[in-house]
Structure 1
Amino acid sequence: LEALPEELVRYTEEELLEYLRQAVKRSIGIKKIQALKEAANRSIGIRQGAMMAKMELRTLIQKYELIQAKFEELDQTLDTLLQDIPGVDQMLEITGIGRDTVAGFFAEVGDLSEYNHPRQITKLAGLSLKENTSGKHKGRTRITKRGRKKLRALLFRASMILVAKNKAFKALHHYYTTRPDNPLKKMQSLIALCNKLIRILFSIGKKQFVFQEEKMLKDIPHMHAFIQEPVAA
């Protein structure tokens, strides 16, 4: 429906609703149609150049459809590539970890068989710790940030999602930030969780085991005292 505002207002709400329900995948209600018509009414002004405007609108729609088709093609290619990587299925079973995170991780680190220890990936992401010192002065400990910025950003996003959706990571974040001895600030905790995630993904890629939230919690001393909700088996 390549209609300018002045043409759009000529259609009834029912006609627009019928068309959009066929053309748009997500649900469209009558309130959205009414809002569309109200916006079209307010938009009617100078009508010169309507033909060129419609040509431009048609071109933009074609570009959008082409981009969507390319995205769908890319998604299919991505799924095919991920199928051949050991451990991907087990990684995707972790609550809070999605396909884009796993794909982004491998896009940055490459073949895990090339690494001997997860610390190498920590260093690659610029998440290794360093202490700022000057003479006798002992400064604050920070991450180096000497590494792949995209990988570091991906791990931070993934860790924040895990804190929100994964019971084990949520409980571990709570423990890190509230423990009596040396509690961490939220950002420091997220850095620790990024490194924890690296170790988990590295181990799964090497051994293809199923990640268990309950086992992760049992491996942490005094963790049971900080669990807010029961962990599903």
Structure 2
Amino acid sequence: MTSFLRYCVGLDISKDTLQACLSVIDQTGRVSVKATTKVVNKPVGFASLLTWVSRHRKLDLSLIYLMESTGVYHEAVAWYLHQQDQSVSILLPNKAKHYLKSLGYKSKNDKIDVQGLSRMGLEQQLPLWSPLSKNLYALRLLTRQHQRLQELKTQSTNQQHALEYSVFDSRFIDKQLTKLVSVYEAQIDALETAIKELIDEDPILKPRIERLIAIKGLALLSVAVLVAETNGFEGFTNQRHLVSYAGYDVVENQSGNHSGKTRISKKGNSRLRRILHMPAFNAVRFNEPTCKALYDRVYERTHIKMKAYVAVQKRLLLMAYALWRHEVKYDPEYLANRAEKDKKIVPTSGTTQDQVAEAELSYL
């Protein structure tokens, strides 16, 4: 008699609907699809999803819900399931995409995606999702609104500059632009105050964010954006995933005798790269030990300042991730002390994955 091990519900989420697939795996590793359905992406649909699952869940086995982090559309159902004491796992989209490719799927549609997710949840031991704080979502709304207003302010000041040097000027338009800039500045100040108050009132976020602010170059707003856009670094199991998510992963262009430019992919969250632009300049300017040494090393090798600053941006991101993940205070001399210790250690075997991960943090 076949013995089954556990269930998984894969969820493919769009703005309006949830495509669900319930699958089960047996002791031989064979995955069977038990049922599929589609519900609306609203609380009434979430309730009907639980009813549907209980109706088709014939055996008392463990159950997990697996979904991708699709913008903001997955958040409501993830919170609902978590509040109903259900096990939830959330994947970065590129992980599911590469898994489906490994299965040999050439077509792509909702049915294939949701079956692939349910199969992935059964065949792999995925980490469970646990929301750090509801304030992270409020923080993300505030920081994104701050960015929008900052962009509008910059646009208006650029228009003023162009008008000033134009052949034909207009006092009326200049007056309107001046008023707009003052309105944007007032709203930006109000948003920065709201961000600070939200962090101060959260006993979980406040101490963690204070550790990151200790890094020279990273201010409160920069750290708030990093934390909000990565959802408290939730779902990133290693540095490579975070680097890829931010678009700092390196893309080579080389084949045979051809050797093109090596650059970062920029296929990731552009808000992370945008907010790290000025902190990288400040970290070098204020002689943050690790970042300054990195900048000098890369600039000496490439003679390209911006490439060195991009390397510093990546370093700041990884430093913030390490401090957040391990919940330790920032030590400016940590890497220097670590390098001295490593010189005294004679390796006795091949390089391990842990050593590779450490090397990635200290390479640039």
Structure 1 pair 177/63, CA: closer, same or farther in 2 (3 Å)? closer
Find the residue that maps to 1:213 and give its secondary structure.
Answer: coil
User: Does the 8 Å CA contact 1:87/1:206 hold for their aligned counterparts?
Assistant: no
What is the 5 A alignment of 1:125-204? 125-134=246-255, 137-168=258-289, 169-178=291-300, 183-185=301-303, 186-204=305-323
Pairwise CA distance, 1:214: 1.9
User: How many residues are treated as equivalent by the alignment?
Assistant: 162
The reply on whether 1:73 has 2:195 as its aligned counterpart is no
Change (3 A) 1:172 1:65: closer
Confirm or deny that 1:111 pairs with 2:232.
Answer: yes
Moved more, 101-110 or 198-207: 101-110
Structure 1: distance between partners of 2:179 and 2:288? 44
Letter in 1 for 2:309: L
Q: 1:143 to 1:196 in 2, by over 3 A?
A: same
Shift of 1:164: 0.5
| Equivalent position of 2:325 in the other structure | 206
Matches of 1:136 and 1:61, distance apart in 2: 56
Q: 1:61 to 1:96 in 2, by over 3 A?
A: closer
SS where residue 196 of structure 1 aligns? helix
Supply the AA of the counterpart residue of 2:333.
Answer: E
Q: Give the fraction of aligned pairs with identical amino acids, expressed as a percent.
A: 24
Aligned to 2:338: 219
Shift of 1:129: 0.4
2:284 touches 2:292 (CA, 8 Å); kept in 1?
yes
1:106–1:135 Cα change, 3 Å: same
Q: Does 1:100 align with 2:221?
A: yes
Q: 1:176 to 1:76 in 2, by over 3 A?
A: same
The equivalent residue for 1:88 is: 209
Change (3 A) 1:87 1:138: same
**Contact 1:118 1:198 survives alignment (8 Å):** no
Q: List, as ranges, runs of 4+ consecutive aligned residues in structure 1 with deviation greater than 4 Å.
A: 59-69
Q: CA deviation at 1:69?
A: 5.2
Q: Aligned AA for 2:326?
A: K
1:194 is aligned with what amino acid?
Answer: Q
Larger Rg: 1
Whole-angstrom distance in 1 between the partners of 2:281 and 2:332: 16
Cα gap change, 1:139/1:105 in structure 2, threshold over 3 Å: closer, same or farther? Answer: same
| Amino acid in the other structure paired with 1:119 | R
> Aligned to 2:262, what secondary structure does the other structure show?
strand
Give 1 or 2: higher strand fraction: 2
Give the secondary structure class of the aligned counterpart of 1:211: coil
Amino acid of the residue matched to residue 199 of structure 2?
Answer: L
Residue 172 of structure 1 aligns with an amino acid whose one-letter code is L
Distance in 1, matches of 2:178 and 2:298, equals 50
Q: How far off is 1:123 after superposition?
A: 1.0
State the alpha-carbon separation in 2 of the partners of residues 67 and 146 from structure 1. Answer: 30
More helix by share: 1
Which one-letter code corresponds to 1:173 in the other structure?
Y
Q: 2:306 and 2:185 mapped to 1: Cα distance? A: 36
Gaps of 5+ in 2: 1-171, 341-364
Whose relative contact order is higher, 1 or 2, with alpha carbons under 8 Å and at least 6 apart? Answer: 1
Structure 1 residues 92, 134: CA separation in 2 closer, same or farther (over 3 Å shift)?
same
Structure 2 Cα separation of the partners of residues 188 and 155 of structure 1: 14
- 1:209 alignment partner AA: V
1:144 is displaced (CA, Å) by 0.9
Shift of 1:110: 2.2
* Residue 121 (1) aligns with residue 238 (2): no
Name the stretch that deviates more: 159-168 or 129-138. 129-138
State the alpha-carbon separation in 2 of the partners of residues 60 and 141 from structure 1.
42
Cα separation, 2, equivalents of 1:146 and 1:152: 11
TM normalised by structure 1 equals 0.58
Tell me if structure 2 keeps the 8 A contact 1:173–1:193.
yes
SS of 2:302's partner is coil
